[in-house]
Amino acid sequence: MVRKTYRAVTTAAASAILLFSASAAHAALTTYTSQSAYLSAVGTTGVDTFDDLWIEPYDTPFARTAGDIGYVATTGPGNPRAYGASDDDIDWYLTPSRASDSVTFSSFDTPVAGAGGYFWGSDGGGYSVFAPYITVTATDSTGATLTYTITDPVPSSFLGFVSDAQIVSLSVATGVQTGVDGYPIWPTVNNLHLSVAAVPEPGTYAMLLAGLGMLGWTARRRQRQGSQPAA
């Protein structure tokens, strides 16, 4: 009797876990255009300010850290070099060597469920300029990919992605576009946010607990029916 009870409870728990996993597997990437909203949706967050950079080339891929989270920054495909950029030589940003290249953050050494930062355009001298748009693309471990276009981005334009799975890369690009002066626009990144875990919504926990409770009740009922003497 003890063995049957153990098997029933184990089966119920396993079924609930599979149900929960299936729900998570179908979850989509979510975007946040507010830093405060993003931070409220994620767990521990590390930030790379890029303030250690300078106006000089950095061969990529090169390893960096956002808080305690290690990652790799890569530029390309045209030129595998990155540059530091700044408006005041105090607050520094990250840009690629070529305006048409993208900046990609990947190879996180800790499972990352959230990624974001400030994204806008700069000129060949590293100064912030008006850009018609900038695109940011996130890809997670389920293969889901989401591209978000920020129109008229400025240095305070924040964008963050959160996934119930693990985010494996974040890429930023301006494509081939020019500013009001006719010069190319470089994709520019500041304060890269990497978050170790998304905070599950209360409804997710409620559904899991309800499923466990229902499966446990069903297992107990079947056990009682099986123990009744035959008529």
- The pLDDT tens digits for 69-89 are 999 999 999 999 999 999 999
| Residue 11: closest CA among 230, 221, 218 | 218
117: helix, strand or coil: strand
- Taking a C-beta distance cutoff of 8 angstroms, is the pair 118, 156 a contact? yes
Q: Specify the CATH number for 29-196; select among 3.30.450, 2.60.120, 2.40.50, 3.30.565.
A: 2.60.120
Residue 215 dihedral angles phi and psi, to the nearest 5°: -65, -40
E strand or H helix at 189? strand 186-195
pLDDT tens-digit series, residues 187-207: 999 999 999 975 554 444 455
Cα(218)–Cα(209) distance, integer angstroms: 14
Q: Using 50 as the pLDDT threshold, list the residues of the chain that sit under it.
A: 1-26, 201-205, 208, 217
- Taking a C-beta distance cutoff of 8 angstroms, is the pair 152, 130 a contact? yes
pTM above 0.85, yes or no: no
